[in-house]
Copies of this chain bind each other. A is one copy, B any other.
Amino acid sequence: MKKIFAIIKDKKRLHSILFEGNDPLSRPVDIFIMVCIGLCVLMASLESVVKVDDYSLQAIFHQELSGIGILKTCIIVLEYVLSILFTIEYILRVYCSPVKKDYVLSFFGIIDLLATLPQLLSIFFPPLRYLSIMRTFRLIRIFRVLKLFAFINEGYLLLESIRKSINKILVYFFFVVVLVCILGTLMFIVEGQIPGTEFTSIPKSIYWAIVTLTTVGYGDITPTTGLGQFLSGIVMILGYTIIAVPTGIVSASMIDTTKKKGQNGRCPRCNEKTDLNANYCKHCGERL
């Protein structure tokens, strides 16, 4: 306990634990936070299955003594515990930031706030528990899991490859959006006049075009006329063919990255470890 207060007093150390991850304590703390987030996701899933509808503190003591009643009690208790933990985490993060505004207004600062606020407000003002839609915002807490990626070194090469080709992918993405609009409107012209058609409006037809071009194919909207089926056949083969483009982009970029760094960050000639941004191996001079 004393130790914890000592750490909390030492703002610099606290900062390195919570933000930088180069302290011996930061690993267990990070893992603990992640387990909490995992529990949180599990709770949200369970809640939506067993349909918990009363989150007040009293509800904990008034559940039926059936299996589901006990599960509901566990969920509510855990909700409170997790809410308090996340609130403490948020306060500590703000507290140890050298420039508080920087953290509070950063991407993860806003997400951390959004993940804790609705729950807290519903504690102090019970009627707020009716803001059931607001409460669902808490689910965004799941985004925190994304922080996990900072842990995995392998992810770095992946991200680098994607970042390199992000421009081309965006151009491609934009092209797909335009194509989908054109195909959707074309399909609306062809099938929209048929009585009983599912192509009732252009946005819905665009939705169909996306479903088809990406080869998802729900089947909730399908062409019924011969011309419509012919056109959608073309859309499908088109989608099938242009699926190759982003793959080509990422492959080209990934091969480039792989070749530069070697498959495992090792020189392909002497097999010694190379720096990640080196152009020549520092051991044998091989061009990477």
Instruction: Decide if A258 is an interface residue (CB 8 Å cutoff).
Output: yes
Q: How many copies does the complex hold?
A: 4
Given known A-B contacts A182-B143, A185-B139, A212 and B216 have beta carbons under 8 A apart: yes
User: Is the CB–CB distance between A253 and B258 below 8 Å?
Assistant: yes
Instruction: Decide if A24 is an interface residue (CB 8 Å cutoff).
Output: no
Residue from A154, A210, A254 with most neighbouring chain B CB atoms (10 Å): A254
Given known A-B contacts A142-B185, A237-B210, A255-B251, A44 and B217 have beta carbons under 8 A apart: no
User: Is the CB–CB distance between A48 and B254 below 8 Å?
Assistant: no
- Residues of the B chain whose Cβ atoms lie less than 8 Å from the Cβ of A247: 243-244, 247-248, 250-251
- Residues of the B chain whose Cβ atoms lie less than 8 Å from the Cβ of A168: 154, 157-158
Instruction: Decide if A226 is an interface residue (CB 8 Å cutoff).
Output: yes
Least Cβ–Cβ distance between A151 and chain B, in angstroms = 10
Nearest-neighbor residue (CB-CB) of A50 within chain B: B201
Instruction: Decide if A164 is an interface residue (CB 8 Å cutoff).
Output: yes
- Which secondary structure dominates where chain A touches chain B? helix
- Residues of the B chain whose Cβ atoms lie less than 8 Å from the Cβ of A170: 154
Residue from A177, A202, A244, A257 with most neighbouring chain B CB atoms (10 Å): A244
Instruction: Decide if A219 is an interface residue (CB 8 Å cutoff).
Output: yes
User: Is the CB–CB distance between A48 and B217 below 8 Å?
Assistant: no
Given known A-B contacts A237-B177, A239-B214, A255-B251, A162 and B203 have beta carbons under 8 A apart: no
Instruction: Decide if A215 is an interface residue (CB 8 Å cutoff).
Output: yes
Which of B245, B258, B279 is close to A158, meaning CB atoms less than 8 Å apart?
B245
Least Cβ–Cβ distance between A178 and chain B, in angstroms = 5
Instruction: Decide if A249 is an interface residue (CB 8 Å cutoff).
Output: yes
Which of B171, B232, B256 is close to A263, meaning CB atoms less than 8 Å apart?
B256
A: which residues have CB within 8 A of B?
A: 41, 44-45, 47-49, 133, 136, 139, 142-143, 145-146, 148-149, 152, 154-155, 157-158, 161-162, 164, 167-178, 180-182, 185-186, 188-189, 192-193, 200-207, 210-220, 222, 226, 229-230, 232-233, 236-237, 239-241, 243-259, 263, 269, 279, 287
